Amino acid sequence: MTDQSPPFLGAGPPSPSVISGDPIRVLVVDDHALFRRGLEMVLGQETDIEVVGEAGDGAEALDLATALLPDIVLMDVRMPRRSGIQACTAIKDAVPSAKIVMLTISDDEADLYDAIKAGASGYLLKEISIDEVAAAIRSVAGGQSLISPSMASKLLSEFATMIKKGDERQQVPAPRLTERELEVLKLVAKGLNNRDIAKALFISENTVKNHIRNILEKLQLHSRMEAVVYAVREKLLEIT
């Protein structure tokens, strides 16, 4: 178990429950019933978190997410019938407001990248404490994206693999970003939030938000993490 808190990878819009002040609605998805029950019992003690349902596989998760409209889906990666990655893609299509947090034993960098590509807002290893799970739910519901510290280097490793593969195939010309947009994207890649980016570039937070919105529109992507992955793959920026 690590004593480090998961690093934040940028920010996005908060969940509806956060805006309204209602408890954060959570759907727990894991193929181990005892683990689901344990999470439900512990999270049930949090006054600002409400577990609205549980599922044992990705297919059931999609059905429940569509019916319950949770703010957060806390989901394992590897499950029967439909994997967490496949379910993540389907849930994001069916319930765009739902934020997906992968909670898994898998430290495979390919799973990490696939989760980000599928639209996950978090990737946490089951080695974290229950208290950290509750904190992560609050952070993601508030608009943050985060991953376990031990996965950060693996994310960079996957970047390197993607770049190598990109050299082996013909690439469609990447959309052109302005110098300022590239500066913002580099700082996002370093894990800075909007406030820190604004301070570093001597601009307002609203200006930072506008730049990020323009970046996502140009790249036709949905999250800050996807934008960083895309930019590294297309060699728009380098992370050292």
Question: Do 178 and 86 share a structural domain?
Answer: no
User: Residue 48: beta bridge partners?
Assistant: none
For 196, the domain range is 170-233
**Residue 165: predicted pLDDT:** 57
Which residues make Cβ contacts (< 8 Å) with residue 192, sequence separation at least 6? Answer: 10, 200
* Within-domain flag for 165: no
**Residue 60: predicted pLDDT:** 95
Question: Do 201 and 108 share a structural domain?
Answer: no
Question: Do 146 and 174 share a structural domain?
Answer: no
Number of domains in the chain: 2
Q: What is the CATH number of the domain that holds 76?
A: 3.40.50.2300
Q: Is 155 left (phi over 0), alpha (psi -120 to 50) or beta?
A: alpha
Question: Do 66 and 35 share a structural domain?
Answer: yes
* Within-domain flag for 240: no
**Residue 73: predicted pLDDT:** 96
Q: Which residue's entry shows tokens 């005892």? A: 34
* Within-domain flag for 162: no
* Within-domain flag for 114: yes
Q: What is the CATH number of the domain that holds 184?
A: 1.10.10.10
**Residue 116: predicted pLDDT:** 84
Would you give per-residue pLDDT tens digits along the chain (240 residues)?
A: 444 455 444 445 666 666 667 899 999 999 999 999 999 999 999 999 999 999 999 999 999 999 999 999 999 998 988 889 999 999 999 999 999 999 988 888 778 888 888 889 888 888 888 778 898 899 888 888 777 766 766 666 656 666 565 555 445 556 688 889 988 988 887 777 888 899 999 999 999 999 999 998 888 887 777 787 777 777 666 554
C-alpha pair distances (Å), 152 with each of 8, 137, 141, 159, 195: 11, 19, 21, 11, 22
Question: Do 32 and 130 share a structural domain?
Answer: yes
Angle between helices 205-219 and 194-201 (to 10 degrees): 110
* Within-domain flag for 197: yes
**Residue 237: predicted pLDDT:** 61
* Within-domain flag for 160: no
d(Cα 35, Cα 17) in Å, to the nearest integer? 25
Token representation of residue 151: 């996965």
Question: Do 216 and 120 share a structural domain?
Answer: no
> Considering the entire predicted model, what is its pTM?
0.64
Question: Do 44 and 107 share a structural domain?
Answer: yes
Question: Do 133 and 62 share a structural domain?
Answer: yes
Q: Rounding to the nearest 10 degrees, give the CA dihedral for residues 146, 148, 152, 155.
A: -80
Question: Do 213 and 104 share a structural domain?
Answer: no
Longest dimension (CA), the chain: 53
